[in-house]
Structure 1
């Protein structure tokens, strides 16, 4: 029996060490109850080993298993005792096989109570350990609750900031409302994004214009950020607290609020730059549309857009052009090879500029100076063409007339009896006519050449006079002189020389024009005329008749 008690005690203490306290409680109670009940049966009745041990089992069950466990064990013990009593009265109880002495009774009681006390000690120790662990767990949960509350608070702050950013983004996407009204809306939704919205106020500067909340006033507790757009427009946001608040990362402001205000300023800056570029592009487009002939065609050659100037030039309506092939305005003036360079440029996605003769709806022709720009998609493929044209019909007609006049003038120059030269300010020959070439060959036996120095063709007799005339013309004067020179044959001849300055369209001197004309025949006629006049005067002077010559009512001669 002592061995059985020892085994029971050892087994349940082992369960307690493993941490199975509840299982050990039930195991010990049932084992002890079975041990005592079997011992009572084998000892011949309930009084031997004693009711004290049964009471200890009930108390142990109450301590270890609670009142429900104690009640169950108590009822089971009472039923067992009544059963033993019934068996004893009917003579069915066996003869006592175990005789307890006082020592064995006390040893049995000591082992039972010792096991119970050890179990209670370990149970109490386990309970204490459990309570300590529970206390630590409560502390951890309290810390976790604090962290959770702090995290929730930070999360709420971030949600406020994100809500502010989202609201500002939505407002900036509005295109129908004026920009000042948009900024007024934005400044009102900024304070709710800060930690203490009820005590916050804000203002925004766009250039020198201020937009502020109704409660804004300067404060020592201020946070601001400022940027400039590409066109140097100032963008500034300032958020203030109207009274002192607890210190944080940046005065009373959080580091996340610094990021928020920087982001808001950047958003306003980017949006303002977009609007400035849009307004600038609108102005450019208006100016371009006003001054140019604009058309956009798809890659298949159909018109997708034409402006009013295109319709005026082609005399088609927009409805007659949109969706139609651009060949509707082509004329037969150009050969197929004329468009080769254009085709190559368009295939390579390169802009092209050229002059084209187009045909209007009524069949008349007009010229344009066209700049054609291909538009490429993200894959580098052309998806449409923009053509910016300028009507040069008048210039073409003028150029044609000028060419005709120039040809006519050149024919006149080539057939005139005057020698014509165009000299640079450095005496270089820039141009001469056929008469000049023939005259130089005749009188000097030399060949005229472009870019040659004209000074080597000068006659020594009138070189100084020519330099004087040339320098005067370089200074803007017109000169003409009659010059007598000796030719290569030793004979003298007369020329009438004129010099005049030549300017470009900017009024800059580009050279001196020299015109020379042979006047030998005139000089000879003048000499004959003078000789005849002398003879006539001699006859008149010797005449006995009075001779008067009256011209235009005035007396011009009397002998």
Structure 2
């Protein structure tokens, strides 16, 4: 009895029942069996992923689909598995599709036996989109972190503009892709601020610092060595956004600091406390008319100080109607009030403001002291952060950030759904509380590897609120923040994949059992008439003749038998 030649009636190279074949064909991940480095079986998902037809893939070397660096890694891991060494079954490499595009793929490989010989059983997943999401997330966090640190520097009491610029230029290389070879320079109002390693280089990008729409300086970030080409020379498009944002922020800081320093020089009796404030301060009488206002308040609204003294509160108040404003003025006392509203500027635009008010009697007249803070940027930042949170909450994978003490500092909506906890509950928990008990011991070694390499991919098991456990594939990486090192993890429930793996294993065993139970002689040959399998009855009759020509062994002929396909 002979099984049909591979590549003819069954091009997938797999004999089995319809359920087994359907299970593989409908899997979302690519599935293949490799033997001697070439494809022996592939499913439709892998063909679609690679861009080749299944017939083209069968017999093709697996390395034909990989970049040179990935070929080397894959061969090394395969040889290590053959040698019995412990090798992580899951790893990421880069593949080349038929159209020449390079994609990130994740390989889950294990040794198996196929048609009586050692083979590699692999599951392939296209992770290009996920890698891009991880990259974008990290770049966004770097960008926000850099801008936050610059803002924090600018907010230090008593710090000068020169000190802000010098500390800012030291921070800049950390926000770029290759900080170890990055340098930076700021020029503003004729002054230069540089990192210690700065020198002129051909690999640089820059952005103008503008104050009141006029160029006042420039931010320059360069690489001391050549780096791979990207969106803008060796620089990422995100780095263009970052340097533009830094320049814009420095322009705002410069504008504000210059105004503050100019105001600080104007020492007058009544403006020692008022005009040095970075907030707008206005004093109203009980009729809502401006009694006195500082320079900042007038500038917030786009008026000159002289124009500001002629205004009533309803000339700029945008939210509350006139009668309600008058009632608020009448009711405010020394205890004061604190609220947010919007002010209308002279040009008709509006700004978000935070106001603290106090009422007091001065020389028999009730006056209302108002401190107005422009929170437009803060509101915009809050909206941007809210949008980013919504984007992360829209992800189907579990995304979490925790600190070195395993305390969660961020979880997305998918995490809440997966574990059965509310966001408030999860934010009070530690990572170890959602890891299944049997996986706590490997967690320590995984963490050590993460600290050493900065990125790991592991399989683990997580536990829901109800105590049930589910398998996950975890991609973890370290990220730097102003508060120290954090750990970003993206976890995916792989219950379905595990079920597929178990089904594959069961069907493989079932197929082998069927073959072993055959009492008649059974052999399998390839398309070149080489014997590639013999069952026990055939071996008893002819001996172990694997690799020899079937017509010589069984017919004693020197050529193919007549009529043999």
Q: TM-score range by the shorter chain?
A: 0.3 to 0.5
Larger helix fraction of residues: 1
Q: TM-score, normalised by structure 1?
A: 0.34
Between 1 and 2, higher relative CO (CA 8 Å, sep ≥ 6) is seen in 2
Q: Which has the larger radius of gyration?
A: 1
Q: Answer 1 or 2: which has greater strand percent.
A: 2
TM normalised by structure 2 equals 0.34
